[in-house]
Amino acid sequence: MSSIDYSEKIPNNVDLANDRTLQRALEHWQPRFLHWWREMGPNDFAAVDVYLRTAVGVDAQGWAHYGTVKMPDYRWGIFLADPIADRTIGFGDSFGQPVWQQVPGEFRSQFRRLIVTQGDTEPASVEQQHRLGHTCPSLYDMRNLFQINVEEGRHLWAMVYILHAHFGRDGREEAEELLARHSGDVDKPRILGTFNEPIVDWLSFFCFCYFTDRDGKFQLKSLAESSFDPLARTCRFMLTEEAHHMFVGETGLGRIVRRTLEVMKEIGSDDPEAIRRQGAVDLPLLQRYLNFWFSSSLDLFGSEVSSNAASTFANGIKGRPDETTQYQDHVCADSTFEIEVPDGKGGVVKDTSPMRNAMNEVLRLSYVKDCEIGLKRWNMQIKRAGYNFELKLPSNRFRRAIGAWASIPTDLEGRPISREEYDSLMPGWLPSASDKDYVKSLMQRVVEPGKMAAWIAPPDRGINNLPVEYAYVRLN
Ligand SMILES: [Fe+2]
Ligand SMILES: [Fe+2]
């Protein structure tokens, strides 16, 4: 295992000290990153002590160290998973050949675009979440938010390292731009839609962690298959950190469901108004938030049929998650994939696409499957509590802005409907202004150790074997 050198200005396991030019370039970027963090990060909490984990190694066992840190002092660094000896290309036209340690010139711009797009999402989410500390439902949750924030900052480092190390001057310019675009900025927004959506309350935050960080997981998993080995190794290690973000989303939403069920039991009613009078989140309200974040995140995978997806697969740039274990055919030169597209007359028709062109859809469908796991668990909770209410993911066709179903009005089941019907039903499908006002009214900060806001149940356990009551953040 390559250990991480913490005596360096930039902690790393890539032997930065022996590449002075690269080291200087990254040390030049470092103060800009810190400036961005101070401006756009959780800046009202710069002085508080937070119980955070920091990567100290890259193997699965004991890779992290836990301790109290002020966020601006977090040691953001460059950590690649260890190389796999004699690794060969796992998919596409060059299947079976040795992986690349440098970017082949002909694929340079495709790689650059993918890396920049991934890199852009990392600081975007920090920007989206930067005021949530003020309304945390507990110190435990506040700590998890900050943990995610510093790790997204580190993921930015991960992508900037690849840009600096392998893309010369273009890469350095892109690294500057990653700090110049901002979430929701009218002039210079972040690249992808979902990362410009405001996250102003914790219900949205948990949905974001559940749905949008999970998109990140799938993108990273497919980049971890890349023939460009440094990128694959970077992404493999990012996934280790990313798992916690989805954990926060899944347990956060699960705790909301649990609390709501407790309230329903207490008052003996499932009437949303009655539940709201008790300060909890009624399940139909939760469903509308799920509808919003799920449908927004689906667009992140791109069009169902895409020549770009075909060429990144053919060229060995971006594979499928778990390419080796999940698939038999790694070349996909002759296979096809069936997709359902609008027929232009208000109906649906089956269309056959070459498999390579359908890779975005393949990725999206495995993502949807993964999203269903949490819903099954929450539905089990609801059923066990004796209610027949079921949380559901809307259809992949619902409220899409990209791909075959972009701007085609459908209901939650994906049935094409008229524009008038769509517009009139939408308030029941997405969070309404009054839903948002209600959720906003719940966002009162709770910072007494071990205490939880009334709309969320406590977690089953604390962080790193500490009790839930531990003071995970010391506000001084
Ligand atoms: Fe990330
Ligand atoms: Fe994340």
Q: Residue 376 and residue 394: Cα distance in Å, rounded? A: 14
Kindly list the distances between the CA atom of residue 331 and the CA atoms of 30, 328, 356, 357, in Å, as whole numbers in the listed order.
41, 9, 9, 12
Q: What is the pLDDT of residue 89?
A: 98
**Ligand nearest the Cα atom of residue 210:** 2
What does the block give as tokens for 276?
């709201």
Reply yes or no on whether the pLDDT at 61 is more than 90: no
Q: Tens digits of per-residue pLDDT, 409-420?
A: 999 999 999 999
Q: Which residues contact 282 (CB under 8 A, 6 or more apart)?
A: 260, 270, 272, 275, 276
Q: Residue 380 and residue 119: Cα distance in Å, rounded? A: 37
- CA 213 to centroid of ligand 1, rounded, Å: 7
- CA 58 to centroid of ligand 2, rounded, Å: 18
Residues with CB in 5 Å of ion ligand 2: 213, 242, 245
- CA 111 to centroid of ligand 1, rounded, Å: 18
- CA 475 to centroid of ligand 2, rounded, Å: 25
- CA 80 to centroid of ligand 2, rounded, Å: 17
CB 447, CB 271: distance < 8 Å: no
For residue 442, which phi and psi values (nearest 5 degrees)? Answer: -80, -20
Amino acid at 460: D
Q: What is the pLDDT of residue 64?
A: 84
**Ligand nearest the Cα atom of residue 120:** 1
Kindly list the distances between the CA atom of residue 322 and the CA atoms of 90, 199, 225, 226, in Å, as whole numbers in the listed order.
10, 31, 8, 11
Reply yes or no on whether the pLDDT at 5 is more than 90: no
- CA 86 to centroid of ligand 1, rounded, Å: 28
Render 378-411 in DSSP notation, one character per residue: HHHHHHHTT------PPPTTTT-SSSTTTT--B-
Nearest partner of 363 among 217, 206, 210, judged by Cα: 217
- CA 123 to centroid of ligand 1, rounded, Å: 8
Q: What is the pLDDT of residue 1?
A: 46
3-class state of residue 451 by DSSP: coil
CB 413, CB 395: distance < 8 Å: yes
Query: Residues 93-106, buried b or exposed e (16+ Cβ, 10 A)?
Result: ebbeeebbeebeee
* pTM for the predicted model, two decimal places: 0.97
Q: What is the pLDDT of residue 142?
A: 98
Q: Which residues contact 83 (CB under 8 A, 6 or more apart)?
A: 229, 233
Nearest partner of 136 among 464, 475, 433, 375, judged by Cα: 475
- CA 215 to centroid of ligand 1, rounded, Å: 10
Render 68-114 in DSSP notation, one character per residue: EEEGGG----B--PPPPTT-B--SSTTTTSBPBSS--GGGHHHHHHH
**Residues 43-55, mean pLDDT to the nearest whole number:** 95
**Ligand nearest the Cα atom of residue 123:** 1
Query: Residues 119-147, buried b or exposed e (16+ Cβ, 10 A)?
Result: bbbbbbbbbbbbebbebbbbbbbbbbbbb
Could you tell me which residue, 306 or 61, shows the higher pLDDT? Answer: 306
Reply yes or no on whether the pLDDT at 256 is more than 80: yes
- CA 97 to centroid of ligand 1, rounded, Å: 30
Q: Tens digits of per-residue pLDDT, 317-362?
A: 999 999 989 999 999 999 999 999 999 888 999 999 999 999 999 9
Q: Tens digits of per-residue pLDDT, 151-199?
A: 999 999 999 999 999 999 999 999 999 999 999 999 999 999 999 999 9
Confidence tier at 55 by pLDDT (50, 70, 90): confident
- Percentage of the chain lying above the pLDDT 70 cut: 99
Q: Tens digits of per-residue pLDDT, 353-362?
A: 999 999 999 9
- CA 426 to centroid of ligand 1, rounded, Å: 31
Dihedral sign (CA 284, 429, 392, 323): negative
**Mean pLDDT over the full length of the chain:** 96
- CA 305 to centroid of ligand 1, rounded, Å: 26
Residue identified by tokens 């990209």 is 402
Say how many CA atoms lie within 13 Å of 194 toward its Cβ: 30
Q: What is the pLDDT of residue 2?
A: 59
- CA 155 to centroid of ligand 2, rounded, Å: 8
Helix orientation angle between 213-223 and 229-267, rounded to the nearest 10 degrees = 160
What does the block give as tokens for 281?
């989140």
CB 268, CB 178: distance < 8 Å: no
Reply yes or no on whether the pLDDT at 388 is more than 60: yes
Kindly list the distances between the CA atom of residue 458 and the CA atoms of 23, 382, 467, in Å, as whole numbers in the listed order.
44, 17, 11
Confidence tier at 406 by pLDDT (50, 70, 90): very high
Confidence tier at 58 by pLDDT (50, 70, 90): confident
Kindly list the distances between the CA atom of residue 56 and the CA atoms of 60, 76, 151, 155, 303, in Å, as whole numbers in the listed order.
11, 11, 13, 15, 39
For residue 141, which phi and psi values (nearest 5 degrees)? Answer: -70, -35
